[in-house]
């Protein structure tokens, strides 16, 4: 296939030429009752998911714009405990503009926030819990420390999704049972690796940063119960550009993967 034919199949569009509503339509779904598990990650062109141990050094204003808009579309935002700590998450709260948009669409003003932690090594007095606009969810394992569970029960809904770790399929089922059908994962690599290995990931939104990081930066996905045997074909939905940064959306049919 010639390069021009590839371009015609998946034309590249300038992110700056699109309004927020255009981007929300591109990434949105026509039927929110159909469950979708999406992940949003950023990587350098040589495959590193961090600069100096954090993902923030790879991004910029355009990436932040897409990041915020994807949150608008979500019923629940899921983050691993390690990412919560390393990226220094505060309470999950969208802007007033984003909240108004959600209400206009018939959604709750704020999405839920779910933290995945097998050990429950979380501070219940942290801003994530103390100033949360919606009571957070903590997705954990049955084997988690009972005393830690008791402390977190005061500030969050603690849900067991497996015996010794939070199993991806049980995790997703627990969220969907609460009416949270649009599941959005922001990290980290181990959580994404688990979603891939357990074959519950429907969409990957990947930002490619025009940076050669070198070094020993991690990939966007690692681990997973069947990490050595994982191969999940995806289809390209669109490519957006901002200068030399790419915003790529891939999808995997839920019906085809079950």
Q: Nearest to residue 68, comparing CAs of 105, 33, 31, 27? A: 27
- Report helix, strand or coil for 148: helix
The pTM for the full model equals 0.91
Cα 174 to chain centroid, rounded: 17
Residue pair 205/38 in contact (Cβ under 8 Å)? The answer is: yes
What digits encode the pLDDT tens for the residues 206-222?
Answer: 999 999 988 778 899 98
Convert the pLDDT of each residue in 120-143 to its tens digit. Answer: 999 999 999 999 999 999 999 999
Is the N-terminal amide bond of 188 cis, ω within 30° of 0? yes
Residue 3 has pLDDT above 50, yes or no: no
Distance CA 101, CA 72 (A): 8
CA angle 227, 184, 120 (to 5 degrees): 70
Report which of residues 27 and 229 the model is more confident about. Answer: 27
Could you give the domains of the chain?
A: 34-227 (3.40.430.10)
What the block records as the tokens of 59 is 């991004």
Q: CA 161 to CA 167: how far, in whole Å?
A: 6
**Strands 203-209 and 36-44, sheet pairing:** parallel
Is 158's pLDDT higher than 80? yes
With both helix axes pointing from N to C terminus, report the angle between 96-104 and 61-72 in degrees, rounded to the nearest 10.
40
Q: What is the pLDDT of residues 83-118, one digit of tens each?
A: 999 889 999 999 999 999 999 999 999 999 999 999
State the Cα–Cα distance between residues 220 and 72, nearest whole angstrom.
22
Helix, strand, coil percentages in the chain from 3-state DSSP, rounded to 5: 30, 25, 45
């Amino acid at each position: 296939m010639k390069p021009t034919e590839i371009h015609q199949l998946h034309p590249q569009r300038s992110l700056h030429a699109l309004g927020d509503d255009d981007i929300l339509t591109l990434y949105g779904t026509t039927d929110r009752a159909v469950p979708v598990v999406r992940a949003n990650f950023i990587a350098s062109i040589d495959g590193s998911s961090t600069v100096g141990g954090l993902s923030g050094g790879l991004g910029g204003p355009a990436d932040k714009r897409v990041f915020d808009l994807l949150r608008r579309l979500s019923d629940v935002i899921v983050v691993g405990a390690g990412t919560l700590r390393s990226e220094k998450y505060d309470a999950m709260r969208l802007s007033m503009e984003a909240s108004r948009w959600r209400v206009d669409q018939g959604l709750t003003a704020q999405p839920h926030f779910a933290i995945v932690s097998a050990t429950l090594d979380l501070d219940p007095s942290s801003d994530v819990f103390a100033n949360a606009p919606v009571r957070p969810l903590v997705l954990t394992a049955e084997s988690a420390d009972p005393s830690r569970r008791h402390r977190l029960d005061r500030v969050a809904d603690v849900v067991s999704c497996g015996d010794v770790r939070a199993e991806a399929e049980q995790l997703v089922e627990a969220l969907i049972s609460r009416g949270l059908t649009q599941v959005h994962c922001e990290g980290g690599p181990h959580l994404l690796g688990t979603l891939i290995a357990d074959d519950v990931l429907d969409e990957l939104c990947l930002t490619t940063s025009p940076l050669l990081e070198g070094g020993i930066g991690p990939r966007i996905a690692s681990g997973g119960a069947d990490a050595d045997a994982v191969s999940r074909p995806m289809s390209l939905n669109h490519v957006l550009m901002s200068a030399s940064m790419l915003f790529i959306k891939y999808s995997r049919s839920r019906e085809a993967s079950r």
